[in-house]
Structure 1
Amino acid sequence: MKTVDELLARLADLHGRTAETPMFNPVFQLSLDLSRKLEGGEMTLDQIEALIAELEVDALEERAARLARMVEPMDVDANSADLAGAFEEGDFATFAKRWQSPQLHAVFTAHPTFLLTPGQSDAVAEAASGDGTIDAACVGQERPDITLPYEHERAMRAIGHAQGARDAIVGQILDHARRTWPDEWHALAPLPFRFATWVGYDMDGRTDITWSASIGFRLAEKAERLARYVAALRDIDADHALLGELVPAADYAAERAEDFAGDLTDPAALSVAANRLTASDPRKLLSLARYIDALEDEARGSEDGARAVRLKTLAAAMRADGLGMGWIHFRVNAKQLHNAIRRRLDPEGNLDLASKGAVVHLRRAIADVTPRASNFGALAIEASTAIRQFLAMAQILRHVDADAPIRMLIAECEEPATVLAALYFAKLFGIEDKVDVSPLFETETALEHGGRLLDELLAEEVYQDYARRRGRVAIQTGFSDAGRFVGQVPASLAIERLQGRLAGAMAANGLTGAAALIFNTHGESMGRGAHPTNFRDRLEWPLSPWARRRFARAGIALEPEVSFQGGDGYLWFATPDLARATLTRIAALRPAETDPDAPVDPFYRRTDLSLDFYRAVKEEQRDHLESRTYSRAITAFGLGLLNSTGSRVSRRQSDLSADREMSLRQIRAIPHNSILQQLGFPVNVISGIGHAAEGSYEEIGQLLSESPRGRQLMRLARSANALASVKTVAAYGELFNSAYWASRPYRGTESHLAPACEALSEYLVKDDRVGTFRRLASRLRVDVMKFHRLMDFVPDDAPTPDREDKRRMIGVLQALRLALLQTMFIRAVSVPVFSRANDVSRDDVLEMVFTLRVDEALAQLRRAYPVSFPRIDRFDLTEQTDWPDGADEGYEAIHRDFIGPIERAHALSLRISTAIANIFGAHG
């Protein structure tokens, strides 16, 4: 078993034994086979690494193939033909209406999902765009530090490719209009896509982003965008008159970005940078309106049709992006706003923000507020995070870009008063006409009561006036925490009902003249795209046709917005060809539109079945979340199965000293989902579906089969189940089985391991994890049996012929990791006993290894067993000494035999984590 093919064949043979012995675990048995060879000297860690490297390449090729399948065709001519096919016949007014409003707002966010190295991301993108093969040189690369500047650079790279793809699409739209309506086409102002980012501006759950960093990022984006406008204009005409203004403006923006890139904690340094930015300067550009008009006028007067199209394409880019790479989203938590508004209006702390009285109080405060001037000094000394964000927005609008609106996202928003508090601060600092306040509905409470919040908020006259002025009502719905706390399927159904309530509330309160901007942040299920089968499903999962029809029937314009998150999202825009294919698929699918007269989906008509189904799945998911068994299993290894994939911490701030008592609410949604995949079973996607159909398999199966939405739900569940393995979940528990370790050297098979196995057996005899994993596996197995029974009545819309190949690949990867974990356990327990130091004992170190806090464990072992000591001959002393009387010796053997192998096995285990995530299609 020294090749991947041999391991795959061995696993297939072992699976055959489950027919004879149902409780037999092929994954764990293969791990034991490997462990015996490793501990017996028949295999080395070098050979294990070679096997992992081969499987890493296969997993990357699997990811590339999925990416290509989702966006194909990739060929530029084919995409031009597809876009041309979306130009339906009709009059100019109909054509202009369709292409002058965005089909999609794309937001480039940076949750911790940068799993791949830059080289691996590039390799996947090139393989998806080419022949599908991955160069093996990209695996085993050192992972970069995922810092905020790194995330911002990757976001800007992706947006740059997206801008180029949009320019190509806009150029084709304009050229079609020019040829079809030669007398009218100059009136066309295409805007098929908008782009935005919150990288550098998202303060929810983190305190490490300074206000000066946000200003610096915005200035850097301005400089980069102006440079791109300059390059585009030079490409049209190297001597164009407007270059005399745009080039100095780009240079000025770059200089100001450099000012804000340094340390501004010193008031003197800040004063210099701020005064340079706020001073009058002929190069200081705050609006592109004059340049857009000039380009449009020039195009109108040009007799060269191709040149006119290019001029109008540049004007369209300026109209879409303004003086930045895109729009920006600030984000704060509702609690931060509550603290700020209490400090301002209720210093005594007597106001209950959940009360009607708070709304009345805020309504009056908004009406009476007098706008206040502010400067960078006020921003520097402001202690409140929320107020600081509004002050930063005010400075950006005043001194960076006066035209582009800014989104203010409010996480965990559960009360109308929270939104009104944001409106109060926007008006207080004179920016309410440029800020779109957007509550986020993601927690179970927010989804349950979100409809009431929207009804009450939109009934407020002060909010209605604000929405009409802005021309839109903005909300955000998130699938990450929702999918974690109520399950992915119930979350999707709850979110679409909330979106429907928004349509009803807008209609009821006379806001049909405003657009509905719905930002869906996708979230965790089978990766950050939420739905893995095709691009239509990816777009419809967060904003279903049913929800879209609610807005269409009410006559409300819809502005869909989705996130492309981190390493997963940026892959869609990793090359110009991928970006062009991605935007073409979206343009052809038209997510902002729907047929209001489409027949009713049976899923929404047969609510006697579908609501019960929804509630039952949700109840099962809630039971898991509240179960001590589930919590203990998910946190059994802490976060040690995962690579660090972002600059935002994976744990919420809390007491992290005891992993044994770690709460699921301490782990963020992305790592929670990732751990499920690493343990072998996406509980939050699959569980509960079989249970919900019990007793009505045929009836529920028929409903799901007849319903487009039902089939979409099942395509997600089936894709997760195709990679899931209850046996793998059970295998992880066997690592903590005292009886296994006691039996392993039975009959002298591995007598050299007898002391280590005996020590492990004795240490783990009271450990609860083996029982925990067994109970969880049993519960999952029962539900999966019911799931398969239901699936017998639901046709498979997206069969995967290579399903078993991928399952075997994951199985081999899991077996390799289990073998590596056994190597780590054996060596950890074999380290000689050392004296207690710094309140850390040997048992503490063992527990660190068992919960995969390996870096901490190794730090303690290195402290206990140093490899070098201070040497006497380093001192230049005249007095002689006979001590020490021998050569200084360190603990090189302990490092070679124990510490080094543990460190290397852990590093290889994390490479396996990456490979498994790639097969699942996830980056978290």
Structure 2
Amino acid sequence: MKTVGELLDRLQELRERTNETPLFNPVFQLSLDLSRLLESGERSLEDFENWISELECDALQSRAAQLRRLVQPVKPEENTSGFTAMLTEASDDLATFRQRWENPQLHAVFTAHPTFLLTPQESEAVATNAAMGGDIDESACPVPGERPAVTLRYEHDRAMQAIAQAAGARDRLVSLLLEKAQKSWPEGWQKFSPLPFRFASWVGYDMDGRTDIKWFDSIGFRLSEKAQRLQRYLVSLEQIDSDHPLLRELRPATAYAQERAQDFSADLSDPAALSVAANRLTATDPRKLLSLSSYIDRLEEEANTTSDGPRAIKLKTLSAAMRADGLGMGWVHFRVNAKQLHNAIRRRLDDGHGSELDLSSKGAIARLRKAVEELKPLRTNFGSLAIESSTAIRQFLVMAQILHHVDADAPIRMLIAECEEPATILAALYFARLFGVDDKVDVSPLFETETALEHGGRFLDALLAEPVYQNYVRKRGRVSIQTGFSDAGRFVGQIPASLAIERLQGRLADAMKENGLTDVAALIFNTHGESMGRGAHPESFEDRLAWPLSPWARRRFVRAGIRLEPEVSFQGGDGYMFFANPELALASLTRIAEIRPAETETDLPPDPFYRRTDLSLDFYRAIRDHQHDHLESRTYSRAVTAFGLGMLNSTGSRVSRRQSDLSADREMSLRQIRAIPHNSILQQLGYPVNVISGIGSAADGKYEEVAQLLSSSERGKQLIRLARAANSLASVKTVAAYGELFNSAYWASRPYRGTESYLSEPCEALSEYLVKDDRMGVFRRLASRLRVDALKLHRLLELIPTETSLADREPVRRAIGVLQAVRLALFQHMFIRVVSIPAFSRANDISREDVLEMVFTLRVDDALAQLRRAFPTEFPRIEDFDLTEPTDYPDGDDAGYDAIRRDYIDPIDQAYALSRRITTAIANEFGAHG
């Protein structure tokens, strides 16, 4: 086998052998074929690299094709003409038109979850190819550039680039909306203030699970965003009129913002440095701009009085952008953990018994209610902020300084993770009022854990019944909640999580109606990612938007007379791809505008999925219980953590798990691994368990009845589309293949009867070392469980008509199989090389066995560091010393350990680097990381 084509053909040939021997594993057999070629010298690591390069290119082309499929058409003229035609076909009057387009159809939040898998060059190439009109070709496959360090600032820069493209696309659609209004209602169109989309970001403001973001980083980011947005307003106004009077104010305001952003880009830990920067920001300055309201009024007045129709549209487009974004690239979301708030409020309410305050008690709610009602706001300054030790309080102080000295108009979201008690929200309201920002801060509980989803309905009933909270949301004009699909998908399973979140959203509509809050909007932020493993449906943009906020849930709000503000996240390097260039950004926003996720039909016939609750609830519970069994299973946990995080590349600035030692790695808990790495490991092992598993078992014994329900239900068909998409890329055989790496019998048998006799010693050593290892049995047991469930799934799917052809996914499935086999061969090469290294003495509590285990758990970088210490190639030589006393020793050439480096250490290094490139290729075939 010399070419990728031959590898693909060989895999197909091996797959056919499973008809004769069902237990035969084609993926592992191909890996053995390749391993034999590599160990015999017939093929080299350079040959492997060539194969991987070609497969990488194919994967990038596949990703570009998927991206185009989701948002097509991508040509700007097709999207602008299609959007205009949609507006023309609508039979709206001006009042209906204004109601539809003056409220956001969607809030888009650009988050920085660790999914920056591709280099900037690769991202640009994929996006450029996806935006082209022709075939997806090799221009999607540039020579890989150096992977930059994914720092917080890198993530922020990428987020701002995506938001800038989104803002440009929104301006084009706003202009088309204004043209439609001007043409259709020439007498009243000036009153139209379009606001179809809002954008936001939490990059630089999310403190949940990290301590590396300093408070002055957040201030600095917000100032830099202000400077960037003012510069964009400036350019837009110059294009309208290079002599416009407002430019004389905008230019110095932009320069001032740039200067202050530069002040806060430095480390301000030193009080003297902070004092200088803070005093400059808080001082009175004629260039200091804190509100755009007067600018918006002046632009609108000019647009309403000019006889130049095109100029009026341009002016109103600019004022619409100002109204949407304020003095920043968009709104900002801060996030803290509920525990941080609990610690902070106990400290404030401590009257001698504060440490005993039970925030789940009714007494705590009553006490907080009284405290919120009675407290008086306190003044704060940057010194208050600098000396504050509580993370939660510090976040409120940062928000206060931003509202006082950066942007006085744009509200700020306060997201609270792991929020399971209504008292937590009252604690947040306490601090918002304490620092005088409760009229500008939207406090939003996050429902993501199993407990939060299970008890979320009672949480909402209790919270919305609180008079203090009711007064607050009426002041803000909205009730805000956040539902998360990452941890929910990990701990509950993606399908049960989506159905549980849907019911929670329905409970919110009921609670708002029951408590007389139909006069405020419901803002529901659904934080999901681009992959099927964390809540983004991969089949279409319509499914992507309906999966986290279904038409059923939307109808609950519409029928209650509650205005809905849907909000979704576009996560990191994956989500930003939809806005990577002007063409994709316009296509993405046009698809959303066509779908109109803030609206729904109210007179549609009931979906059987919600009428047949006797069947659908049992189905949901059975899938949830199946997923829960996996989560609690020692087998599943051990298999997912068998390689630690060693298969994955670093894709973000937030750590993927807490640090641990060698012994802890063997007992690593799934709760130590964050949701995205967990999902990514499942991708890399070949089976998205938290998406597929349980569906087949839940239908066991009632296949026809369940199939009939799912086939006749729009929600059911959407669920099955997700399952088919995941199943089309899944391979139980691949899961089993990874266990065979630890099969002592395999290594003992490999040189059997004289085959590969040159590997006798390392194979014997591996066999002896692995005889007590548990991983082979773990993977076999997991594969058996997955196989039984998959048989039931296939039986169910055979009874449900297929909506789309999956034939085009077979090449992707085969490519993934070859990538897996190549990686398994590389792992075998690493195992053989490391066990062949001569023994060395224990140093710094690291033994040879420790190094072996590091390689087997893919802590390869750690292992290589120890091996290079044990076998140095650079050390002092006698001729380095200028000494007068003669010596006869050393009496020969000391060749050092160059041969060991060349034959063992460097090949392990090279093989591991190649395996990490396969990780990227597999993620691209899935369409996202994790």
User: What band does the TM-score fall into relative to the shorter chain?
Assistant: over 0.9
8 A Cα contact 1:533 1:798, kept in partner: no
Q: Letter of the aligned partner of 2:271 in structure 1? A: P
Q: 2:611 maps to what in 1?
A: 605
For residues 798 and 316 of structure 1, the distance between their equivalents in structure 2, rounded to whole angstroms, comes to: 40
Query: How far off is 1:524 after superposition?
Result: 7.3
Q: Please show how residues 360-509 of structure 1 align to structure 2 within 5 Å.
A: 360-509=366-515
For residues 217 and 519 of structure 1, the distance between their equivalents in structure 2, rounded to whole angstroms, comes to: 23
Q: 2:199 maps to what in 1?
A: 195
Q: 1:585 maps to what in 2?
A: 591
Q: Letter of the aligned partner of 2:92 in structure 1? A: G
8 A Cα contact 1:551 1:557, kept in partner: yes
Q: 1:752 maps to what in 2?
A: 758
Q: Letter of the aligned partner of 1:464 in structure 2? A: Q
For residues 533 and 619 of structure 2, the distance between their equivalents in structure 1, rounded to whole angstroms, comes to: 24
8 A Cα contact 1:205 1:652, kept in partner: no
For residues 827 and 755 of structure 2, the distance between their equivalents in structure 1, rounded to whole angstroms, comes to: 20
The ranges of structure 1 where at least 4 consecutive aligned residues each deviate by more than 6 angstroms after the TM superposition are 653-656
* Local SS of the residue matching 2:356: coil
Q: 1:303 maps to what in 2?
A: 307
Q: 1:91 maps to what in 2?
A: 93
8 A Cα contact 1:868 1:889, kept in partner: no
Q: Letter of the aligned partner of 1:183 in structure 2? A: E
User: Structure 1 759/482 Cα, relative in aligned 2: closer, same or farther at 3 Å?
Assistant: same
Q: Letter of the aligned partner of 1:705 in structure 2? A: S
Q: 1:101 maps to what in 2?
A: 103
Q: Please show how residues 759-770 of structure 1 align to structure 2 within 5 Å.
A: 759-770=765-776
Q: Please show how residues 283-362 of structure 1 align to structure 2 within 5 Å.
A: 283-346=287-350, 348=353, 349-362=355-368
For residues 370 and 895 of structure 1, the distance between their equivalents in structure 2, rounded to whole angstroms, comes to: 69
Which runs of 5 or more structure 1 residues have no equivalent in the other structure? none
Q: 1:119 maps to what in 2?
A: 121
Say what the alpha-carbon RMSD is for the aligned residues. 1.2
Query: How far off is 1:542 after superposition?
Result: 0.5
8 A Cα contact 1:633 1:772, kept in partner: yes
Query: How far off is 1:127 after superposition?
Result: 1.1
Q: 1:558 maps to what in 2?
A: 564
User: Structure 1 724/613 Cα, relative in aligned 2: closer, same or farther at 3 Å?
Assistant: same
Q: Deviations over 1:555-575 (max 9, x none)?
A: 000000000000110000001
Query: How far off is 1:653 after superposition?
Result: 6.5
Matched, 1:625 2:631: yes
Q: 1:788 maps to what in 2?
A: 794
Q: Please show how residues 223-238 of structure 1 align to structure 2 within 5 Å.
A: 223-238=227-242
For residues 635 and 67 of structure 1, the distance between their equivalents in structure 2, rounded to whole angstroms, comes to: 31
- My pick for the range that moved more, 31-40 or 122-131, is 122-131
For residues 894 and 392 of structure 2, the distance between their equivalents in structure 1, rounded to whole angstroms, comes to: 58
Q: Deviations over 1:662-683 (max 9, x none)?
A: 0000001101111111001111
Query: How far off is 1:214 after superposition?
Result: 0.5
For residues 307 and 729 of structure 1, the distance between their equivalents in structure 2, rounded to whole angstroms, comes to: 62
User: Structure 1 251/656 Cα, relative in aligned 2: closer, same or farther at 3 Å?
Assistant: farther
Q: 2:907 maps to what in 1?
A: 901
Matched, 1:77 2:71: no
Query: How far off is 1:528 after superposition?
Result: 5.4
Query: How far off is 1:91 after superposition?
Result: 1.4
Q: 2:657 maps to what in 1?
A: 651
8 A Cα contact 1:483 1:525, kept in partner: no
8 A Cα contact 1:56 1:139, kept in partner: no
Query: How far off is 1:337 after superposition?
Result: 0.4
Q: Letter of the aligned partner of 2:575 in structure 1? A: G
Q: Please show how residues 43-58 of structure 1 align to structure 2 within 5 Å.
A: 43-58=43-58
For residues 322 and 136 of structure 1, the distance between their equivalents in structure 2, rounded to whole angstroms, comes to: 37
For residues 136 and 37 of structure 1, the distance between their equivalents in structure 2, rounded to whole angstroms, comes to: 31
Of 213, 216, 239, 1:209 maps to 213
Query: How far off is 1:205 after superposition?
Result: 0.4
Q: Letter of the aligned partner of 1:221 in structure 2? A: E
- My pick for the range that moved more, 357-366 or 139-148, is 139-148
Q: 2:641 maps to what in 1?
A: 635
8 A Cα contact 1:632 1:772, kept in partner: yes
Query: How far off is 1:137 after superposition?
Result: 5.4
Q: 1:25 maps to what in 2?
A: 25
Query: How far off is 1:2 after superposition?
Result: 1.0
8 A Cα contact 1:756 1:829, kept in partner: yes
8 A Cα contact 2:159 2:572, kept in partner: yes
8 A Cα contact 1:682 1:724, kept in partner: yes
Matched, 1:695 2:719: no
- My pick for the range that moved more, 81-90 or 221-230, is 81-90
For residues 534 and 237 of structure 2, the distance between their equivalents in structure 1, rounded to whole angstroms, comes to: 36
For residues 549 and 656 of structure 1, the distance between their equivalents in structure 2, rounded to whole angstroms, comes to: 52
User: Structure 1 661/299 Cα, relative in aligned 2: closer, same or farther at 3 Å?
Assistant: same
- My pick for the range that moved more, 68-77 or 844-853, is 68-77
Q: Letter of the aligned partner of 2:795 in structure 1? A: R
* Local SS of the residue matching 2:280: helix
Of 675, 685, 704, 2:691 maps to 685
8 A Cα contact 1:218 1:324, kept in partner: yes
Matched, 1:707 2:713: yes
Query: How far off is 1:76 after superposition?
Result: 1.4
For residues 46 and 660 of structure 2, the distance between their equivalents in structure 1, rounded to whole angstroms, comes to: 39
Query: How far off is 1:798 after superposition?
Result: 2.4
Matched, 1:664 2:670: yes
* Local SS of the residue matching 1:401: coil
8 A Cα contact 1:106 1:195, kept in partner: yes
Query: How far off is 1:657 after superposition?
Result: 5.4
* Local SS of the residue matching 1:402: coil
Q: Please show how residues 130-145 of structure 1 align to structure 2 within 5 Å.
A: 130=132, 131=134, 132-135=136-139, 138-145=142-149
Q: 2:182 maps to what in 1?
A: 178
For residues 757 and 892 of structure 2, the distance between their equivalents in structure 1, rounded to whole angstroms, comes to: 36
Q: Deviations over 1:82-128 (max 9, x none)?
A: 21233212211111111100000000001110111111101110111
- My pick for the range that moved more, 799-808 or 297-306, is 799-808
For residues 197 and 211 of structure 1, the distance between their equivalents in structure 2, rounded to whole angstroms, comes to: 16
* Local SS of the residue matching 2:519: coil
Percent identity of equivalent pairs: 73
Query: How far off is 1:908 after superposition?
Result: 0.6
Aligned residues: 924
For residues 653 and 341 of structure 1, the distance between their equivalents in structure 2, rounded to whole angstroms, comes to: 30
Matched, 1:846 2:852: yes
For residues 100 and 811 of structure 1, the distance between their equivalents in structure 2, rounded to whole angstroms, comes to: 49
Q: 1:267 maps to what in 2?
A: 271
Q: Letter of the aligned partner of 2:119 in structure 1? A: T
> TM-score, normalised to structure 2's length?
0.98
8 A Cα contact 2:15 2:26, kept in partner: yes
User: Structure 1 408/299 Cα, relative in aligned 2: closer, same or farther at 3 Å?
Assistant: same
8 A Cα contact 2:489 2:535, kept in partner: no
Q: Deviations over 1:450-505 (max 9, x none)?
A: 11100000000000000000000000000001111111110000000000000000
- My pick for the range that moved more, 181-190 or 128-137, is 128-137
User: Structure 1 64/816 Cα, relative in aligned 2: closer, same or farther at 3 Å?
Assistant: same
For residues 656 and 838 of structure 1, the distance between their equivalents in structure 2, rounded to whole angstroms, comes to: 14
Query: How far off is 1:78 after superposition?
Result: 1.1
Matched, 1:512 2:514: no
Query: How far off is 1:595 after superposition?
Result: 1.4
Q: Letter of the aligned partner of 1:642 in structure 2? A: L
8 A Cα contact 1:527 1:922, kept in partner: no
User: Structure 1 879/283 Cα, relative in aligned 2: closer, same or farther at 3 Å?
Assistant: farther
Q: Letter of the aligned partner of 1:352 in structure 2? A: D
For residues 96 and 676 of structure 1, the distance between their equivalents in structure 2, rounded to whole angstroms, comes to: 46
8 A Cα contact 2:182 2:189, kept in partner: yes
Query: How far off is 1:879 after superposition?
Result: 4.1
For residues 483 and 85 of structure 1, the distance between their equivalents in structure 2, rounded to whole angstroms, comes to: 39
Q: Please show how residues 810-829 of structure 1 align to structure 2 within 5 Å.
A: 810-829=816-835
Q: Letter of the aligned partner of 2:17 in structure 1? A: R
Q: Letter of the aligned partner of 1:43 in structure 2? A: R
* Local SS of the residue matching 2:579: coil
Which runs of 5 or more structure 2 residues have no equivalent in the other structure? none
* Local SS of the residue matching 1:572: helix
For residues 642 and 777 of structure 1, the distance between their equivalents in structure 2, rounded to whole angstroms, comes to: 22
8 A Cα contact 1:109 1:198, kept in partner: yes
Q: Letter of the aligned partner of 1:616 in structure 2? A: A
Q: Deviations over 1:811-830 (max 9, x none)?
A: 10000000000000000101
